[in-house]
Amino acid sequence: MTPDMPLPKVLPEARPTPEGATVAAPVVPQVKLVKKHPLAIRWMHWINFPVLMVMIWSGVLILWANDVYPTEKFALKIPNRITLSRKGVTAVYPPKEADDYPVPAKERVDIRLAFRLAEGQAWHFTWAWFFTLNGVAYVLYLFFSGEWKHLLPRKESFGEAFKVVLHDLGLYRKPLPPGKVNHAQRIAYTSVVVMGFGMVVTGLAIYKPAQLTWLSNALGGYQAARLEHFWLTAGIIAFFFVHVAQVIRAGFNNFRAMITGYELSRHDYDKLS
Top-confidence residue, 270 or 247? 247
CATH number attached to the domain at 14-38+147-271 = 1.20.950.20
Regarding beta strands 109-112 and 22-24, do their DSSP bridges make them parallel or antiparallel, or are they unpaired?
unpaired
Reported confidence tier of residue 273, pLDDT bands at 50, 70, 90: low
Top-confidence residue, 64 or 69? 64
pLDDT tens digit sequence for 34-56: 888 899 999 999 999 999 999 99
pLDDT tens digit sequence for 10-34: 445 555 555 655 555 565 668 888 8
**Interatomic CA distance for residues 188 and 153, integer angstroms:** 9
Residues of the chain with CATH 1.20.950.20: 14-38+147-271
**Interatomic CA distance for residues 191 and 201, integer angstroms:** 15
Top-confidence residue, 113 or 211? 211
pLDDT at 252: 92
pLDDT at 21: 57
Under 8 Å CB-to-CB from 45, ≥6 apart: which residues?
A: 37, 258
pLDDT at 132: 96
Instruction: Tell me what the mean pLDDT of segment 211-238 comes to.
Output: 94
Percent of the chain exceeding pLDDT 70 equals: 83
pLDDT tens digit sequence for 110-168: 887 777 889 999 999 999 999 999 999 999 999 999 999 989 999 998 888 988 888 88
pLDDT tens digit sequence for 160-199: 898 888 888 888 888 888 888 888 999 999 999 999 999 9
Regarding beta strands 81-85 and 109-112, do their DSSP bridges make them parallel or antiparallel, or are they unpaired?
antiparallel
pLDDT at 87: 86
Q: Which residues of 203-235 are buried (b: 16+ CB within 10 A; e: fewer)?
A: bbbbeebeebeebbeebeeeeebbebbeebbeb
pLDDT at 99: 77
pLDDT at 271: 67
